[in-house]
Amino acid sequence: MLYYLFEYLDKTYDLPGAGVFQYITFRASLSVITSLIICLLFGKRIIRVLHARQVGETIRDLGLEGQAQKAGTPTMGGLMILAGILVPTLLFAKLENIYILLLVITTVWMGLIGFLDDYIKVFRKNKKGLAGKFKVIGQVGLGLIVGSILYFHNDVTIKNLEKDPTVVDELRVETRAHLPVYGEAHKSTTTTIPFFKNNELDYSSLISWISPAAKDYAWLIFIPIVIFIITAVSNGANLTDGIDGLATGTSAIIGITLGVFAYVSGSIIFADYLNIMYIPNTGELVIFIAAFVGACIGFLWYNSYPAQVFMGDTGSLALGGIIAVFAIAIRKELLIPILCGIFLVENLSVVMQVSYFKYTRKKFGEGRRIFKMSPLHHHYQKLGYNESKIVTRFWIVGIFLAVITFVTLKLR
């Protein structure tokens, strides 16, 4: 909203300084600062309200050290994160941008699913919360919306960069932004494959072998992939939210990485220099992801060990959904297994534990376990590691994975 106000003041009254709102980096800086202020200043008030309404977390007895002290800690703190994301986005982003609209829808949609789950747990006193099938229905519904918009909407395009070979070499550096660019922006189901020289995959090629006309039905491949990614990543974030600060810090690291990718993919200069896919209008997503990172860090102020508030499913499902949709929007979804490796391992540890338990119970008459407890962070708790040490080491691994993700920009 402020973007439009200052754009009007700049064009109509030539107000000095108003034109700075045209710069993505400036608005992203305001976005992260505003998000931090919202979480830090209003965090205590939100926690007091949650305390007053007795919105406390019910802790199952898992036999973990320090678990009893967490009983009654306010949950649904994800509302703080949602506010920290949405308010700066509405203030500083171009709201007609299709990618911004898509991420706002994702934030509200997944936030509502998580809120409903927390509400049932806290106020209806049902420890199971929202039934798993309804969560999946919500995730699939969002996947259908996101996949359909990204496939069919006319503003979702890519552009091939080819410079005029007749331009003299000495002009290429100084006037790179002004070099002639061939190729119109066009619809495409192309995505990025990490570590490959010709690192682009067109989803339509997965069915074009049937018939050349089959390319028109690439949405039959693309939309299910979108649904799978959203469901997997949101559940991974939800499982990771098991000890103080783990999901919040990990999401902030992922958010910073995605922000860099969005910036270079949405800039014709950097996309040309790095020889990566240029995706028009995705630079605006930097404002959104700046708010996302600010909200995570601001919430971490109260969520670090020992936590004063838990995000609940209100926050964790929203964080996972946002990360998934953001990665798909900038065509970097195939980097998710690397960048979101923490979420992936947490997911796999649960799948492996449950599958192995069922298999051994059927074969040997008694269930056996691979880990002392799943998700994986609880396994380390059972081994006697302090929560802070587990979280810090997971963050270090997350940073390592983020660096590997950055390396894919040039290492092919």
Q: What is the pLDDT of residue 212?
A: 81
The answer to whether position 381 is within a domain reads no
Q: What is the pLDDT of residue 213?
A: 83
pLDDT: is 349 or 184 the higher one?
A: 349
The answer to whether position 411 is within a domain reads no
Q: What is the pLDDT of residue 332?
A: 95
The answer to whether position 379 is within a domain reads no
The answer to whether position 79 is within a domain reads yes
Check pLDDT > 60 for residue 117: yes
The answer to whether position 364 is within a domain reads no
Band (412; pLDDT cuts 50, 70, 90): confident
Q: What is the pLDDT of residue 167?
A: 40
State the angle between helix axes of 98-123 and 285-303 in degrees (0 to 180), rounded to the nearest 10.
Answer: 30
Check pLDDT > 80 for residue 20: yes
Q: What is the pLDDT of residue 180?
A: 45
Check pLDDT > 70 for residue 395: yes
Check pLDDT > 60 for residue 331: yes
Share of the chain above pLDDT 70, in %: 90
The answer to whether position 169 is within a domain reads yes
Q: What is the pLDDT of residue 165?
A: 45
Domain membership of residue 170 as a residue range? 2-338
Mean pLDDT check: name the lowest of 59-68, 75-84, 196-205, 219-228.
59-68
Q: What is the pLDDT of residue 65?
A: 61
Give the count of domains, the chain. Answer: 1
The answer to whether position 371 is within a domain reads no
Q: What is the pLDDT of residue 162?
A: 59
Band (128; pLDDT cuts 50, 70, 90): confident
Band (168; pLDDT cuts 50, 70, 90): very low
Q: What is the pLDDT of residue 62?
A: 61
Q: What is the pLDDT of residue 68?
A: 60
The answer to whether position 328 is within a domain reads yes
Check pLDDT > 90 for residue 296: yes
Most confident residue range from 66-70, 119-123, 168-172 = 119-123
Q: How far apart are CA 283 and CA 263, in angstroms?
A: 5
pLDDT: is 82 or 185 the higher one?
A: 82
Q: Which tens digits make up the pLDDT trace of 197-251? A: 777 889 998 888 788 888 888 999 999 999 999 999 999 999 999 899 999 999 9
